[in-house]
Each structure stands twice: as structure tokens, then as C-alpha cells.
Amino acid sequence: MGYSLFFIGIFSLLALAGLISGAETAVTSASRAYLYHLAKKGNERAKKVITLQENLSTSISTILILNQLILYLIPIISTLFSVKHFTATGAAIWQIILAFLIMIYAEIFPKMLVIKFTIPFALFFGSFLFRIVAVLKPVTAILELCAKWTLALIGINTNRGSPSEQADEELRGAIEMHSSEGDEEEAQKKSMLKSILDLEEISVSHAMVHRKNLKTINASLPIEKIAEELTNCHFSRVPLWKDNQENIIGILQTKTFFRALQLQNGNFEKIKISQLMFAPWFIPETKHLLDQLQDFRQKREHFALVVDEYGDLKGCITLEDVLEEIVGEIEDEYDTMTNGIKLQSDGSVIAEGVTPIRDLNREFDWNLPEEEAATIAGYIMHEVRKIPDIGQTYVLSGFKIEILKRQHNQIGLVKITPSTQMSA
């Protein structure tokens, strides 16, 4: 073998090892979300890369087999050639040079290059690697099986995992990573995206309108009185009860009632409430908001009544309530501008007892616990295990909370001071 042929062969193998090393980095680093976007547009190479990522263990095993074969072949050829054509000193120097060449051009250089242009390289290597994975699949399967048996011997189960949970965390990380600090619009987008992910963890009890704030009407009232109640009510749907307020017998749409009244030329005697109302939809308070949102879409309903495990009425939830968990407070012409929260000049906050903890956390970027109670009053009573008196002060979860108002057995108003303001 001549010197020219030897060096051409060595450098060709180095280049091939570099390509395979780059292929590994490209496939593992390529954004799956972007690849899905390309695949939806009909990019066949993107579809192949997605397949490689979905079977990442097999893909990596195939790449490693090829890479190791080449990296074993290079020193073997080099040693055989050196023995015949180099002196002992020359052979030692060449082996050192070769080690540096392998390190730089078979590992470091291709990975640095691919990281700069991940998607183009992933698409370039995708088809080539896809075919090789298919050809070497039997060999790879045997080697993977040996590796799994070895891992099983030391107590590692490779079949166990939580891909859904990991995917959620990856999404949260991506949202945090791609948001700009100090940009109010970006912060709002980040908050909305994170809120969407939270929907499957938040129960309807945290977003519902409590029954104390729920407008209901006695179905036994005269039609004239019901019309008067509806006129003074800004809700589009009102529950009707009979005998007691817990016994909801139907839901009446305001516009349906007044349309019927108009058709009857204002003749109350011709109005039959039982024909205008529709059956109430009861849901458990433990139901998650994501499930409820999907049910709203499927049933084409915007209103549901929330009950506890004993069937007692807890409140109601609407499609708007669920959407507000994503986009924040939605104000209409009937909503008052205040939401029970008032920021003070010293950084403290005055809040009504019924204020949802999620509203406080979202408004001021706080981290008050939401697991045990939906409202700030409920949280205080859960923590102190009693109904506090006016003027009492507690430090809970790093917040100083002072009771400002109490009505009977209910906390009416509190003052909340964050730890940053407490130390100021």
C-alpha cells in the first residue's frame, strides 16, 4: 500500500466517522416541534427524522455500531501500515497525530458544525440514516437486548417512563426559554401558554362562581316577578329552584324568556316557564378544567352547576370562567372594574376573603399555595384551623396576612404583605 493510498483511506474513514457523529447530534438535537411543522407541509425527510427520534434507542445504537466499526478500523489499518513503513519513533508520532485527528475531525468538529445548522443537517442525514437503521435492525436488536438484560441485572427498568409528564415539562421549559425578560407582551403570552398546561391540573372548584355569588330565581314566583328579577340580572343564564335553593330544577336563558314574552306581545299569562327552561347540567367539583372545556365544546353548552361529593350545590362554572383561567379577567359591560383586589402604595394588597388565590398569584406573580383552598379566606382558615378575629395577623408561606373585616363566621377583608415588603 503506497503512502498516498494510505492517507486517502485514513482521511476518508475520518470523514465518514465525522459524518456519522454529526448525524447523531443532528437527529438527537433537532426540534421535534419544528420537524412536525415541516412534516405537516409534506416534507418526507422530516417525517423520517421524526421516526428516528421516536425510535431513538435503535437510532443511537445503529449510529454507535457504525461509528465504533470505523474508529476500530482506522487504528488497525494505521498500525499495519506503520509497522511496515515507519520507524518506531515515526509510528509513535503518527499514532499521537492520528488520535488528535480522530478527536477533532471525527468528534468535535462535526458536532460543532451540526449544532449551528441542526435542522438542515438532520434533514440531510435523515434519509441516509433511515435506510441504514432498517438494514442493521436485526444486529441492533440483539445488541439492545444484551444491554437491557445487563441493566435489568442492576435493577434499571428501561421500559418504565412517563413520556406525557416529561413532554409537559419540556413544553414549560420551552416557554420559559423563549420568553423575553422585561417584555410585557411576551410575559402575557408566557402566562397564557403556561395556563393552558395548568388546565389539566386545576379543578373546577378553583374557577367556579361560588353559590353565594350565584343568582338564582324561585320558579314558583309569578311570571311578572320572574321578569323583574331577570331585568335586574346581568347574567345570561339563571338557575331556577323549587321548594329550596338547593333544588335546582332548570336553567333559564334571559334572552329566551324575553323573546317568548315579545312573541306573546307582553302577555305574561301565556308564558310557561317549564317550556322555556332546559335541564341543569351537574358536574363534580373535582373535575379538571381541561375536561370541562372539552365537554363544553362537545355538548355545545356554556353553563354547568358544580356539586360536591354529597350532591350539594357549590356554585356554577361557565365557558368564560375557563377561558379566564387562560387569558386572564375578561371584562364586559356588566362587570365592575374592581375584582376585589386593591394594591396599596406600600406594596401590600387589600383583598376580599372570597378572592381566588389564583387571581392573586396571577396578578402579582405570587406563589400562595392553591392545593388546599380556592379562596384566600379558605386558605387562612385551613392554615390557622380556626376563624380568626379582626386585627389578628399571621405569617403564612412568606406573606404577612392581617384580618381587616369579619362577618359572622366569614373572613370579609384581608391585608396581604409579601415578604419583600415585610423586610423593607
CATH number of 283's domain: 3.10.580.10
- Whether residues 13 and 137 share a domain: the answer is yes
User: What mean pLDDT comes out for the span 390-409?
Assistant: 88
Over residues 142-188, the pLDDT tens digits come to: 877 887 788 778 877 666 554 555 666 666 666 666 655 556 677 67
| Residues in contact with 292: Cβ distance below 8 Å, sequence separation at least 6, in sequence order | 204, 283, 304, 317, 322
| Residues 327, 358: Cα–Cα separation, whole Å | 13
User: What mean pLDDT comes out for the span 223-241?
Assistant: 89
Q: How many domains does the chain have?
A: 4
Residue 332 forms part of a structural domain: no
Residue 112 forms part of a structural domain: yes
Q: Which of 129, 153, 177 is the last residue of a domain?
A: 153
Strand ranges in 159-200 using DSSP code E only, listed in sequence order: none
The predicted pLDDT at position 282 comes to 95
User: What mean pLDDT comes out for the span 192-212?
Assistant: 81
Over residues 120-133, the pLDDT tens digits come to: 888 888 877 888 88
- Whether residues 75 and 138 share a domain: the answer is yes
Burial 159-172 (b: 16+ CB within 10 A, else e): eeeeeeeeeeeeee
Residue 240 forms part of a structural domain: yes
- Whether residues 89 and 9 share a domain: the answer is yes
Torsions phi, psi of 380, nearest 5?
A: -60, -50
**Does 283 score more than 90 pLDDT?**
yes
| Residues 186, 115: Cα–Cα separation, whole Å | 27
Residue 334 forms part of a structural domain: no
Over residues 362-394, the pLDDT tens digits come to: 788 888 988 888 889 999 998 998 889 888 999
What is the domain range of residue 364? 341-422
Residue from 212, 411, 198 nearest 314 by CA: 212
Residue 194 forms part of a structural domain: yes
User: What mean pLDDT comes out for the span 59-76?
Assistant: 86
Yes or no: say if 314 and 210 are a contact pair by the CB < 8 Å rule: yes
Burial 381-402 (b: 16+ CB within 10 A, else e): beeeeeebeeeeeeebeebbbb
Looking at the whole model, is its pTM more than 0.85? no
The rounded mean pLDDT for the chain is: 83
Please provide the size of the chain in residues.
Answer: 424
- Whether residues 8 and 146 share a domain: the answer is yes
User: What mean pLDDT comes out for the span 292-318?
Assistant: 90
- Whether residues 64 and 32 share a domain: the answer is yes
- Whether residues 216 and 323 share a domain: the answer is yes
The predicted pLDDT at position 135 comes to 84
The predicted pLDDT at position 379 comes to 92
Residue 147 forms part of a structural domain: yes
The predicted pLDDT at position 249 comes to 93
Least confident of 12-26, 160-174, 258-272: 160-174
Give 97: exposed, middle or buried? Use CB within 10 Å, 0-12, 13-18, 19+: exposed
The predicted pLDDT at position 177 comes to 65
- Whether residues 173 and 301 share a domain: the answer is no
